[in-house]
Amino acid sequence: ILAQFRIASEKADSGDQTGAIADYDAIAARTNISLDVRNMARLRAALLLVDTATTADITKRIGDLAAVGNAWHNTAREILALSAWHTGDYVGANQYFGQIDADQEAPMDMRQRAEVMLAMIAAKLPPGTPSAAAPGGLPNLIPSPAPAALSDVPPPAPAQSVAIPETAAPAQ
């Protein structure tokens, strides 16, 4: 099995995406290996397709792996989110990245990537669309509608002076 993964990986590295995907699909179709290994092959194939396939195709391949309780759920969510991002489905990408960001069991580096993506997605969402950015993560960066007129803008708060205590000269 490891040799098959290596061959598929080398094909992908050399630019033979079609061959690599076929090899990963062949691994995923084997019934004499563990389900986790087959699912890893499915994820690797989907990752190779994320830039070119439709979100529906990626969902068909790995959508079931995004379910809570699956060992690969956050990896599947990240691939589905990237697919949605690439196809311009910012609401879908927001949903998947938000699920990763909210999952305290997700690896920290994956949650950090999700937070960065959520910040970028927020700029693409229509005003008023709730952002999935978690309260502990990056702020909800979706802009509020602009005031109708300048008179609707509240005046700035008055500046407050702060007294700075004088310090004695150092003793010599």
Report pLDDT digits (tens) over 6-36.
Answer: 999 999 999 999 999 999 999 999 999 999 9
Q: Give CA 143 to chain center in angstroms.
A: 21
Cα–Cα distance measured from residue 70 to residue 57, given in angstroms and rounded to the nearest whole number = 20
pLDDT tier at 166 (50, 70, 90 boundaries)?
A: low
The answer to whether 27 and 5 have CB atoms below 8 angstroms apart is: yes
The string of pLDDT tens digits covering residues 87-99 is 999 999 999 999 9
- 88-to-70, 72, 121, 125, 155 alpha-carbon distances in Å: 27, 24, 10, 10, 38
Q: Give CA 62 to chain center in angstroms.
A: 16
Q: How many residues does the chain have?
A: 172
DSSP string, 149-171: SGGGSPPPPPP---PPPP-PPPP
Burial of 15 (0-12, 13-18, 19+ CB in 10 A): exposed
The string of pLDDT tens digits covering residues 77-121 is 999 999 999 999 999 999 999 999 999 999 999 999 999 999 999
Dihedral of alpha carbons 41, 28, 46, 11, sign: positive
Spatial CB neighbours of 40, under 8 Å, sequence gap ≥ 6: 72
